Structure 1
Amino acid sequence: MSEQQIRAALDAHWQASASGDLNAEHAIYDDDSICDYPQSGERIIGRNNLQALRGHHPGKPSGFHVHRIVGQGNLWVTEYTITYQGKPAFTVSIMEFRDDKVVHETQYFSDPFEAPAWRKQWVQQMP
């Protein structure tokens, strides 16, 4: 699969994620894919389990915004924000492809925090 095809597959995946189309969202995954959530120590094995887990999430996202996608070869990273019940979760997804499917994904989730005053003189606020 070319990098252009992988990028198109990722665009379709994230668009389906944003619209809540579970079938289209999970078409990118291999049947035996693995998805890791390091912060909670969880590993989801298999596309069906991943789709079921996401389909049963009690707080459906009310917002979804991809900030950027970068990658090369079989390794691609997406930075995005998901909004759950009015609260943003800054998220990074690292996807490893084999052929035309994701075989391993690692996702990191982070809550926003207030910038400390001590470093104000060296920083700018992001838009």
Structure 2
Amino acid sequence: MQEEAIREALNAHWHASAAGDLEAEHDIYEDDAICDYPQSGERILGRRNLQALRSHHPDKPSGFDVRRIHGEGHLWVTEYTIAYQGRATCVVSIMEFRDVKVVHETQYFSDPFEAPGWRSQWVQQIKGSPSRP
């Protein structure tokens, strides 16, 4: 039953994120939540700081697409793309829950890149990926 509640909270969170609803987007976090951005070496302490940081982003997303959500128990992963000024970034969000609130999130950001031709005989192109609209 708790997993169903977490999935509902995640769906509401990502929907609010896509819509730019900063209040609803941050309802999922505990007041003392931690959010880590390992690639930049930043840690945001507390829901209020996280919401303030995100509300001061210089751009509004021009696209948002949740590819998949998977998890069980207290650990959930969301893979999504977010676009600013038409440029997509691939994101993986790892969320740890206490009850149905996030206590720790780690986000990894990656820009898409063109696949090198040398490996084309072993791969298939994923339609709808940021590098293959």
TM-score between both structures, scaled by the size of structure 2: 0.94
SS of aligned partner of 1:48: helix
1:5 is matched with which residue? Answer: 5
Q: Quick one: percent identity of the two aligned structures?
A: 76
1:87 is matched with which residue? Answer: 87
Aligned-residue offset at 1:117:
1.2
Deviating above 4 A after TM superposition, structure 1's stretches of 4 or more consecutive aligned residues are: none
Counterpart of 1:76 in structure 2: which amino acid?
W
Counterpart of 1:89 in structure 2: which amino acid?
T
Q: Does 1:22 align with 2:22?
A: yes
Distance in 2 (CA, whole Å) between partners of 1:12 and 1:22 is: 12
Written as runs of structure 1 = structure 2, the 5 A alignment for 1:98-117 is 98-117=98-117
1:72 is matched with which residue? Answer: 72
Distance in 2 (CA, whole Å) between partners of 1:15 and 1:22 is: 11
Counterpart of 2:17 in structure 1: which amino acid?
S
Distance in 1 (CA, whole Å) between partners of 2:122 and 2:99 is: 45
SS of aligned partner of 2:114: coil
TM-score between both structures, scaled by the size of structure 1: 0.98
Aligned residues: 127
On the 8 A contact 2:69/2:76 being kept in 1, the answer is: yes
RMSD value, Cα: 0.8
Distance in 2 (CA, whole Å) between partners of 1:99 and 1:125 is: 39
Distance in 2 (CA, whole Å) between partners of 1:57 and 1:83 is: 13
SS of aligned partner of 2:113: coil
Aligned-residue offset at 1:26:
0.1
Aligned-residue offset at 1:59:
1.4
Distance in 2 (CA, whole Å) between partners of 1:63 and 1:114 is: 20
Distance in 2 (CA, whole Å) between partners of 1:100 and 1:67 is: 22
Aligned-residue offset at 1:8:
0.2
Distance in 2 (CA, whole Å) between partners of 1:100 and 1:79 is: 19
Aligned-residue offset at 1:93:
0.3
1:53 is matched with which residue? Answer: 53
1:44 is matched with which residue? Answer: 44
